[in-house]
Structure 1
Amino acid sequence: MCIFCGSALPTGRIGFRDLCPDCARELHICRHCSFYKPGVYRECTETIPEAIKDKDRLNFCEYFRPLAELPGAGIEGGKAKSAKDSFDKLFG
């Protein structure tokens, strides 16, 4: 899922210069990568040789693996929904 517009990412390999078909933003970025993890060293779980400063811009990282789904994308159907239901029961 594109972090900018929410549309589904193309299946298969994402090339260095591929763009989102809906919003035309770059797809080969850290935030679309399965190794991206805020809070860890260099915000990457892979052993990259140098930090990539802008996580929302095109990069040429060879370790890039596209995310299947954005973290938290399906959260409305899970714990967040049950928490909201509990809140509504208390104060609704």
Structure 2
Amino acid sequence: MKPEDLSCWKCGTSLKDILLPFSRMSKCKSCQTDLHVCKMCEFYDTTVNNSCREPVAEKVTDKTRKNFCGYLQPSETAHQAKSTSHASDSKQQLDALFGLGSEEKSNPTGEPPEDEARRKLEELFGKDKK
């Protein structure tokens, strides 16, 4: 593996100027985050025990801080850009589930939300008669 193929696990900056193998003190020049970390490793996998596929590695509790693991293999895919489409899809699904963000569809009369809520309550429970 060549350093040009690697990018910081946190900010995505190219690590072409970093010497391999990473020393324990290696830091990203852009965001100053530690690079000798579990999240930067080929063996990092949140779906397995201890989030590590290396069977003899010692347990590391903080996967984002430098450690003494001797099995670190830098991963080319360590940086995962945040997907705005996934986030927006999730928000749209929640809005649809709870009826949020769709005032135009649910209120075709154009009445204020407070009046619509009162009208719906009166329809549901009947008008309060004194």
Per the normalisation by structure 2, the TM-score is 0.51
- Ranges in structure 2 where 5+ consecutive residues have no aligned partner: 1-6, 86-130
Question: Is residue 69 from structure 1 mapped to residue 73 from structure 2 by the alignment?
Answer: no
Pick aligned residue for 1:46 from 54, 66, 69: 54
Give the CA deviation at 1:35.
Answer: 0.6
Pick aligned residue for 1:26 from 15, 34, 49: 34
Question: Is residue 12 from structure 1 mapped to residue 20 from structure 2 by the alignment?
Answer: yes
Compare CA radii of gyration and give the structure with the larger one.
2
For residues 33-70 of structure 1, what are the alpha-carbon distances to aligned partners after superposition, in whole Å with 9 as ceiling and x for unaligned?
01101110111110234311000001000000111223
Question: Is residue 3 from structure 1 mapped to residue 9 from structure 2 by the alignment?
Answer: yes
Letter in 2 for 1:13: P
Write 1 or 2 for the structure with the bigger share of helix: 2
Letter in 2 for 1:20: C
Per the normalisation by structure 1, the TM-score is 0.69
Higher relative contact order (Cα pairs below 8 Å, separated by 6+ residues): 1
Partner Cα separation in structure 2 for residue 24 and residue 72 of structure 1? 18
Q: Is the 8 A contact 2:10 2:79 kept in 1?
A: no
Question: Which residue does the alignment assign to 2:107?
Answer: none
Partner Cα separation in structure 2 for residue 22 and residue 53 of structure 1? 25
| Divergent runs of 4+, >6 A | none
Change (3 A) 1:18 1:72: closer
Change (3 A) 1:2 1:61: same
- Ranges in structure 1 where 5+ consecutive residues have no aligned partner: 81-92
Q: How many residues align?
A: 77
